[in-house]
Structure formats: structure tokens, C-alpha cells
Structure 1
Amino acid sequence: MTNAIGANIKRLREARGYSQARLAHEVCRAAGVIGDPVGRQEVSRWETGKRTPREWLPFIAAALGVSADTLRAPLAPPEPPLPTLADFLPEGDPLSPLQGHSGRRIGMGAVEDLQQRVHGLRLADDVLAGGDLIRPALRELRSAVKLYREGSHTSEVGRQLLRQIGEVAQIAGWIASDAGQHAEAERIYRLGISAARQAEDHTLAGNIAGSLAYQLSNTGREVEGLKLARAAVNETGPDAPPKARALYLDRVAWAHVKAGGIENGQQAMRALGEAGQALSDDSAGTESPAYMYWVDAGELRVMESRVYTELHRPLRAVPLLREVLSGYDATHTREMALYLSWMAVALADANEPEEAAAVAERVVSLASDIPSERTAERVRVILQRLREYADVPEVATLLAEHQVT
């Protein structure tokens, strides 16, 4: 108990910005005594546990603006160590080369061919949904792992192959998640983190970890999602390429807002601000990876608008979404449907049910032709949100057409 009191006195004193001498003076003033019978050394003895305050305890509490029970409270357990990406690796080593296997010699040409196919898969994901791409994505991933495990290659070629396995795992995991195959996506992401770390590519490992964190945050595992999103930022550090750091912080913001609560909302806005600063701060001249071609100020505005929507701040969300949608590429149907879905919810929050219903109708129309679980889930969210306005004719018609009662 004595150690707890001393530690609490020190913690609360420092939180108020008091020196030991200042606290001693405030304690005497709270006790109403003349002079300073308590001095800095006495405060030091309390804090180190060499002496127990006893009769002075209520006056210390008054000086610190807390109750005496607060000073007596047991010490809180130490903060757990920050998670690292190593905590999220798959069991065993699914990338270990086959022992005694004398496969064909693999050179950099094979790596470059794989790199081009992975990039093609990313470009395809810009315009096609997970249901359309899941088979070729998984086929490409299996082929890349087989090439690494069964072929013979130099250490440098092996490292580059691992990097490409990481890249294809990131996009294949994203595609699997979009197709609603979340367990498969998680296995793929964890494999990708392992490959990227073995290749010593921390930027890539952070990108894959952030993708998994995003899925966890969206599928009811918000605490895990926040932990992993923070781990991605912590592991890559402040020297990550500008686009990479901006993206990691973007995902931290989303993880916070999905975790809920006022404090998490504030943390989300802080992370968004740091993401914007990271994107604009390219003074170090660090080149961002080619696979982050899509990360720009527009994408940060998208996330900002989504965060405002989740925080039920439509006056901030709606103008941002209008700006984003006004110049968006209509060939990116899935993203268009997703962004419109947040617009519909924000309009409902703004008490504009008629316009929300019109936007929702467009979302439903777009989603009907997209084999994407993400868009299907957003349709369910919109229709559920609009049930509050079931007496509005436009909303009633929409809900009746889609059998929501």
C-alpha cells in the first residue's frame, strides 16, 4: 500500500506539473498551517516509500485535487509491451524450402515476370470485385510460393521472390476479404507478413499488416484490429516512405473509430492529421513503393469523410463526400458504391431522408452487379439506417422494394 501511495503521489504531482517543493507548499496551504513544516525532502520520502503520509494524506489529496482513496488505489498493472508484427505470423514456416528438392534454377527473369503479373492483379482489382478475381488471385499466390519453395536460386533472388510473395499475398488477401472469405484472407495476410519480414521489407510487412487490421476492424474484432494497425506503424517507424506512413496512419484512424467511444474518436482525428502531414512531408526524398500508386490526398479525404460519418458528424462528412464523388472514376464501380453508401448514411444523419433514399437506391443498383461482400454489407447498413424514416414515402418505397420491414 505504501508503495502504491508514493507512486500515485508522484504520478499525480507530475500530471499537474508541480515540483516536489511546490507540492509541499500546496499541502501546507491545504492543511491551513503557518510556515512550511512539510518540505521537498518530505515529499521525496513519501514518493519513494521511505515514509507514509498518514495524517497528511487528506491534505495531499486536496492539494492534488483527488480523493484520499485515489491515493490509496493499488498500482495499475504495467502496460503490456507494444505488439510487433511477429505476434501475427502463422505457426510454423510455410515458406521453408523443400529439403532435398532440386528444382529448376530460378533467376531474376522469373521474379520480374511475377512482379508484372502481381501488378496486373492490382490493376484488375481497381475495376473488378473479389468474386471475379478470387480464383486467379489464389492461383497466382500458390504459384509464387511453389516457385520459391521448389526452385533453386541465389539468396538475392530468393529475397526478391519472398518480396513478391508478400505483394501477391496482400492483394490476394484483399480480394479474398472483398469476396467475403475472411478466414482465408486472414491466412493469406499472415503468410504475406511472414514473407515480407523474411525479405526484410518492413514497408511491405506494414502494408500487409494494415490490410489485415482493416479487415479485423470491419468484422467485429476491433480490439485486434487496433492493436495490429498500431503495430504496423510502430514497426516501420517514422522513416517509412511518405505514402506508406500516411496509409498506415489512415488505417489506425479507421481502427480507432471502429473501436468506438469519445477518446477513440479523438485519436482517429489525430491519426488522420498525422496521415495528411506524412503525405505532404517528402523532404527526406524517400521514394514510395510502386504498389502504393493509389495513395494520394484524395484517398485521405475519402477516409476522413468515412470517419466523420462513423462519428455521426454529417456537416463535415457530406461536403467531403460530394467533393470526392464529383471527380471519381465511374469505372471503379465498387468504390463508387462504397463511397455513395457513406453518403447515404451521412444524409440520414443530417435528417435528409429523401436524398438519402435516392443515394441508397443508386448504391443498391450498383451493388446488384458487383460480387463484393463489402458492398453487400454496406447495402444492409444503409437499409437498416433508413428504417428510422420508414414513414417518409421515398424511404418506404425503397424498403418495400428490398423487403426490409
Structure 2
Amino acid sequence: MDAAAVGRVVRGLRTERGWSQGQLADFLNAAADTPTLTRNDVSRWENGRRSPRFWLAHLAAVFDVEVRELASAGRPGPPQRSHGLGDSVIVPTMDGLAPSEAITSTMQSFRAADRNVGGGHLYPAVIRYLQTEVALRLFDADGGDDGRAVFRAAAALTEMAGWMAHDAGRDDAARRHLARARDLAHVGGDRQLSAHILASLSHHARHVGRPAKAIQLAQDGRDLVAAGPWQPELAARLLAMQARAHAEMGEAAPATQLLRQAEDALGADEEEQLSPWVSRFDEGSLASEAARSFLRLGDTRAARAQAERILQIRAADRTRSRAFAQLALARALIARDEADEACAVVDQALDATRQLSSFLVIQQLGELRQLLAGQDSSVVTSFLPRFESELAQRSSLYDWLRRGDHERSSARGTE
């Protein structure tokens, strides 16, 4: 590999996009899930003093070109389009697996990655998989699999796509995915999965400003759960969704009562095992819903206690779950006039989420920045410039990811 030629290509691609060397280093660190690269490293590559051999795959992903085109720099031939960061998820082959098993295995891979890197990176890859693999299997009579199981698997993956779209700030797409998932689950005949998707639809309805609709959707789910053997986790989740909606409406009494009912439900004996298509809802999940409910109701003491509980329960690899807990904790601390401590919590959240592509996290960070800006504290005054710089950098990276996803989708539409 000709290091000087590769360096010239890197410089050309970077300047073509209007990025600084520092920005390119940040994008590469995000793609590689490591904070080790600096502006000086990029400078050495571009001057031909060092080869970016071990960064070629990430350079290709960031610039949206093929690795071989970078490795063979200096030879004729235009760069080719790649498919982006989401394709780093390993998609199992169908060999030896029934269609529903293959979809389930793929869904687990996406779900594990989503916890750490967020929906912004993975959503396009999930949609592509749904379009190119899952859609074909729904009508494959020779798949060697129970046809209804394929519909259940497709419903579960489509519901996950809805959550990723929501995490990526695409609420219209999220609503469409969740509605399709509900229809697929009905055909699949899985009562638990149908109730689970109703909980997701309830969450989405509350998020877009329709709390009354959210309460009704969660009640529909509760009715489904009540129609069969008792499933504690599913019942608790639906109760928590109703609590969130009542909190959104400022109704403290029903919200608090529903949270208590959810806690009781979670501790009850199960009469039926949780469906393999349904996400777990545990003590940490309930604490997350409770923290946000109490924040909405203005009970900052209870919100703080719940947020701290999440951080005790959740392992370090649950990046996004911990991030939301840290942001809720920081908001509660600010409301309690403990802005200096809030800065420390935000700083921890920034450090932990450098590789996380989540519109919701960026949005909440922006809201915290506004809250901190009104605080009279030397600690806050010292912290804000660094916070604002980090937030601007992340917003720029997220906007770039969104533009890249749109361009890749447009390119595929013309192929």
C-alpha cells in the first residue's frame, strides 16, 4: 500500500466534505468505538509519514467508499459506495436454520449492538434486512418452518426497528413500524407479543403528545395479558406505560398508584414464561419509567432515588440505559439546586456515550445545557464551554450520519 497516495486520497475526501482533521479523527473514533485517534494522526497520514493501514475499514465507512479503493490508492478507478456503519453487525446465514430462527438470531445481534451504539448507527441496516430478507420469508411456503413463527419473528424485528427509529428521532417512521409490527403479531398469534407491541405504541403516543391515547393503548395490552396466564414482566410494563402517561398529564395520584401496581406485578409469580419475542422488563426498567414519571410530576427527590437505583443495577455495557439514568439524575439535581453535582454527572454521561448514536440522548443533553446555563456557579461556568463544544461535535456527527443514511437510501432506490 502506498502511504503517500492513501494520504492524498484521505485529504481529498476530507476537504471535499469540509471537515477538519480533528473532526475526521472524532468520526473515526466513533466508528471504531475507541477514543485513541487524534488530529496529529490524521495529519501524519495525509503527509504520507504514517500508513493508516489499521484504520482503512473505518475510513471507508466514514467516507462511504470501498476499502479496496483506499488500499489501492494511486491506481485508476473511482471510489465505490459502501453500505455504512450498521453493516458491521454480523447477520447469520440461513444455512441450517429455519427462517424464524435466522431472523431471531439476527434480531439478537442487532439488539446487543443497539444497547451500545444506538439506533442512529443501526436503523438503516435493520431496515435493509427487513426489506431484503424478512419480507421474502413471510411468503416462503418452502421455508421448512411454522409459517406463524415467521410472522412472529418479523413482528418482533419490526417492533425493534420502531424503537431504533424512535431513538434516531424519526417518530413518523417509528409509528409506522410499530403499527406494522402489531399487524404481524396478530397474524403470528402471539398474545404476549401483541401486548408488548401495544406497550411500545403507548410509549410512542405519549412521546408525541397523546397521553390519553397512550393510556388506552396500554389498557388494551393489559386486557390481552388478563385474558391468559399471568405474565408479571409484561403486566408491569403496561402499568408503567399508563403511569408515564398520567404523569405527562400532571396526574400524580393515578401515576403513583400505577407505579406501585407495576412494582407489585413484577414481584408476583408467573403463570406463563415470557415469550422469546418480548423484551425483558426488570427492576431497572421499572426504575427508569418511575424516574421519568417523578421528574414530570416535579418529585425530584423520588426521581433522584430511582435514577441512582438504575445506575446501581445496570451493568456498564448497558450504555444507553445508564445514559438516560444519568441524564435524569442530572435534571433532578439541577431542580434541587445542586448544579455542581449535576455537572459531574453530565460529564460522566458524556464520557460514557462518546460512541452512542442516539438522537434522544443528544436532545436531552441539549435540554440540560439550557438548564445549566441559568445556574450561578463557578463550577458550571467552567464546565459549560467544554459541554457546549462536545454537544456541538456530537450534533455535527449525528447530522452527518443522518445525511449519509438518506444518501445511501436514495442511491439504493436508483440501483
TM-score by length of 1: 0.66
| Aligned-partner Cα distance in 2 for 1:204–1:383 | 38
**From 374, 377, 397, the counterpart of 1:392:** 377
1:166-245 paired onto structure 2 within 5 Å? 166-237=155-226, 239=228, 240-245=230-235
**Is 2:257 the counterpart of 1:270?**
yes
The equivalent of 2:106 in structure 1 is 117
Identity among equivalent positions (%) equals 24
Q: Deviations over 1:44-83 (max 9, x none)?
A: xxxxxxxxxxxxxxxxxxxxxxxxxxxxxxxxxxxxxxxx
Aligned letter for 2:258? A
Q: What corresponds to 2:70 in structure 1?
A: none
Bigger mean CA deviation after superposition, 299-308 or 341-350: 299-308
* Per-residue CA distance 1:136-186 (angstroms, 9 max, x = gap): 21123222122113x225998221111111111111111111111111111
Aligned residue pairs total 293
Q: Which amino acid aligns with 2:239?
A: L
Aligned residue among 317, 325, 338 for 1:352: 338
The one-character-per-residue Cα deviations of 1:9-30 (angstroms, maximum 9, x if unpaired) are xxxxxxxxxxxxxxxxxxxxxx
The 10-residue stretch of structure 1 (165-174 or 376-385) with the greater mean CA deviation from structure 2: 376-385
Q: CA deviation at 1:385?
A: 2.6
**Partner residue in 2 for 1:251:** 241
CA distance in 2, matches of 1:215, 1:398: 34
Output the CA distance in 2 between the equivalents of 1:251 and 1:155.
Answer: 38
Distance 2:252 2:237 in 1: 18
* Conserved? CA contact 1:318–1:347, under 8 Å: yes
Given residue 338 of structure 2, which amino acid in structure 1 is its aligned partner? E
- Could you say which residue in structure 1 is the equivalent of 2:141? 152
- 1:6-405 pair list within 5 angstroms: 109-142=98-131, 143-149=133-139, 151-152=140-141, 157-237=146-226, 239=228, 240-258=230-248, 260-261=249-250, 264-282=251-269, 285-292=271-278, 294-389=280-375, 391-401=376-386, 402=388
Deviation at 1:347? 0.7
Compared CA separation, residues 218 and 398, structure 1 to 2 (3 A) = farther
Q: Aligned partner of 1:321: which letter? A: A
| C-alpha distance in 2 between matches for 1:116 and 1:141 | 14
Query: What's the offset of the Cα at 1:323?
Result: 2.8
CA distance in 1, matches of 2:141, 2:278: 30
Tell me the residue number matched to 1:62. Answer: none
Displacement after TM superposition at 1:368 (Å): 4.6
Deviation at 1:207, TM superposition (A): 1.1
C-alpha spacing 1:140/1:237, structure 2 compared with 1 (3 Å): farther
SS in 1 for 2:138: helix
Note the C-alpha offset of 1:292.
4.3
**Per the alignment, do residues 226 and 387 of structure 1 end up closer, same or farther by CA in structure 2, a change over 3 Å counting?**
farther
Q: What amino acid sits opposite 1:276 in the alignment?
A: E
1:397 and 1:215 map into 2 onto residues whose CA distance is 37
Give the match for residue 66 of structure 1: none
CA contact (8 A) 1:367 1:376 kept: no
Residue in 2 aligned with 1:77? none
Deviation at 1:398, TM superposition (A): 3.5
Tell me which amino acid in the other structure corresponds to 1:275: A
Aligned-partner Cα distance in 2 for 1:238–1:279: 18
Corresponding residue SS for 2:356: coil
Equivalent residue letter for 2:256: M
Q: CA deviation at 1:225?
A: 2.6
The one-character-per-residue Cα deviations of 1:99-132 (angstroms, maximum 9, x if unpaired) are: xxxxxxxx98222222222222222222220012
* Contact 1:111–1:161 (CA under 8 A) maintained in structure 2: yes
Bigger CA drift: 159-168 or 292-301?
A: 292-301
Relative distance call for 1:153 and 1:278 in structure 2 (3 A) is farther
Taking a change above 3 Å as real, the CA distance of residues 197 and 293 of structure 1, as seen in their structure-2 partners, is closer
Tell me whether 202-211 or 327-336 shows the greater mean CA deviation. Answer: 327-336
CA distance 1:292–1:196, shift in 2 (3 Å): closer
Q: SS at 1:290's partner residue?
A: coil
Aligned residue for 2:374, secondary structure, equals: helix
The one-letter code of the counterpart of 1:331 is D
- Secondary structure of 2:183's counterpart equals helix
Counterparts of 1:199 and 1:337, CA distance in 2: 34
Following the alignment from structure 2 to structure 1, what is the Cα–Cα distance between the partners of residues 278 and 98? 23
Deviation, 1:366, is 3.9
Structure-2 change in CA distance of 1:227 and 1:352 (3 Å)? same
Whole-angstrom CA distance in 2 between matches of 1:286 and 1:227: 24
How far the C-alpha of 1:246 sits from its partner, in A, is: 1.2
**1:216·1:225 contact (CA, 8 Å) conserved in 2?**
yes
Hey, what's the Cα distance between the residues in 1 that align with 2:199 and 2:125? Answer: 23
The CA distance in 1 between the partners of 2:332 and 2:277, in whole Å, is 31
